[in-house]
Amino acid sequence: MLAFPIDGPSPASGPPGGPVGPRGFAGDRLAGDEDDEDDLGDEEDDDAPWLLGDVVLCPAYAAEQASQAGQSLEAELELLTVHGILHLCGFDHAEPKDEQAMRTRTDELLDRWRERERP
């Protein structure tokens, strides 16, 4: 899995519950910048989709990883997709604390996604 942010360095990220928005897009307000809120007019919408970047998956590699992990290819692709998107949102796993935060958020998102998919 490769993740490529659309606008260079990792975007600003929010609390472990989710990002506040990448810089340069719909969520471009930093905490404490409420004074600028009036300048945004009706053009900005925090619920508008964000263009974060690209996530690239290799199905053959994912199939190998799925086999090693004892899970389906579908489950592995879901995991890799969420993992890549979290990287685009500013999450990382270089430090144990960051790895745990990313793992927790990954599990939360996958649980919610898979719960919606059940009949």
What pTM did the predictor assign? 0.63
CA-based radius of gyration for the chain = 16
Overall average pLDDT of the 51-60 stretch:
90
In angstroms, what CA-CA distances link 13 with 27, 43, 52?
A: 10, 22, 12
pLDDT tops 90 at residue 2: no
**Contacts of residue 107, Cβ cutoff 8 Å, sequence gap at least 6:** none
Is residue 11 very low, low, confident or very high in pLDDT (cuts 50, 70, 90)?
Answer: very low
Listed residue (22, 29, 77) closest to 49, CA to CA: 22
More confident residue, 26 or 65: 65
What does the domain layout of the chain look like in residue ranges?
14-51, 53-119
Pick among 2.40.170.20, 3.40.50.360, 3.40.390.30, 3.20.20.70: CATH of 53-119: 3.40.390.30
Q: Which residue has the tokens 């998956």?
A: 57
Question: What's the number of CA atoms in the CB half-sphere (13 Å) around residue 110?
Answer: 18
